[in-house]
Amino acid sequence: MLGAATEQLVCVTGAGGFIGSWLVKELLHRGYAVRGTARDPDDCKNAHLHALDGAEERLSLYRADVLDYKSLRPAFSLCDGVFHVASPVSNDPELVQVAIEGTKNVINAAADMGVQRVVFTSSYGAVHMNPKRNPNQILDESCWSDLEYCKETQNWYCYAKAVAEKTAVEEASKRGVQLIIVVPAVTIGRMLQSTLNASLYGVATYMNGTKKAYPNAVAAYVDVQDVALAHVLVYQDQNAHGRYLCIGDVLHRSKFVQMLRGLFPQYPVTAKCENDSTPMVKPYKFSVRRLRALGMKFTPFKESAYNTVISLQENGHIPILPHKSAL
């Protein structure tokens, strides 16, 4: 184990985002002094961070942009560890370079300021995109997405996450920084921030009926609180190294929307598949043995789905509809 949390100062990039906010909350709960980076710390979208337990005494926000190396140095100064969460979640090919350059800047600024450990937030999009892989293979930390396939299918988000992760490994190796990588799936659950992030936006499109049909596709999911906890678990274990898959459940989209309809039958969640003439895609399997060995327990998907929708209601992103009576 590393030193006591009460003696440690850590920094979280992208502190006001979906995962970043929960990570800040978890770190404060464990007694860490936390710095968070934001492009505009005074923006009202970061106000929720100041309301977290322990924030008044142990949280400070720094104005920084991962594309501006110099802005990162003050935020990382005197820190024991850095959690690099900030990254564009978009399929815009122009943002590929943003993810890569931002990662380079974070690793090098951390090294220059004497930071010993960096935890990097990757994505399972950097793992599973490979059509040549045996469909019965259990995917683990040794698996990578096929970069050429990502480019051919214009899946720029998965391409960016894979290249950014490889970049983090290369830069950390050159600079002597201890790097640990958390690889979460599609992240859902209760939101702390008021603004809508990409993964919860996807759920909202089903709930409000704007998504008229679901794809014949499979996706993996994990609760945001589990992702935050995974970051802390790998940081606190001195022997932790390399990648850690953080994946709760793997579901065909039909099962996903069926769960939403069952929990909230009053909403117009589609039951139509976009391409039901083709065989149903089979779910693939992941090994989360490495993370479970650190004590990780995953939130049941049904609980995460329920909390996601309730959170969307509470933040005004979907209307609150009366529950349909079975009578």
Estimate to the nearest angstrom the gap between the alpha carbon of 82 and the chain centroid: 16
- DSSP codes of every residue in 42-91: TSGGGHHHHTSTTHHHHEEEEE--TT-HHHHHHHHTT-SEEEE-----S-
**How far is the C-alpha of 194 from the C-alpha of 315, rounded, in Å?**
6
Neighbouring CB atoms inside 10 A of 152's CB total 10
With CA atoms as reference, report the closest residue to 120 among 91, 86, 146.
86
DSSP state of 95: G
Q: Given the residues 104, 132, 151, 161, select the one marked as catalytic.
A: 161
**Distance separating alpha carbons of residues 32 and 9, to the nearest angstrom:** 6
151 carries an active-site annotation: no
Q: Name which of 136, 140, 117 is nearest 127 in CA terms.
A: 140
Which residues are known catalytic residues?
161
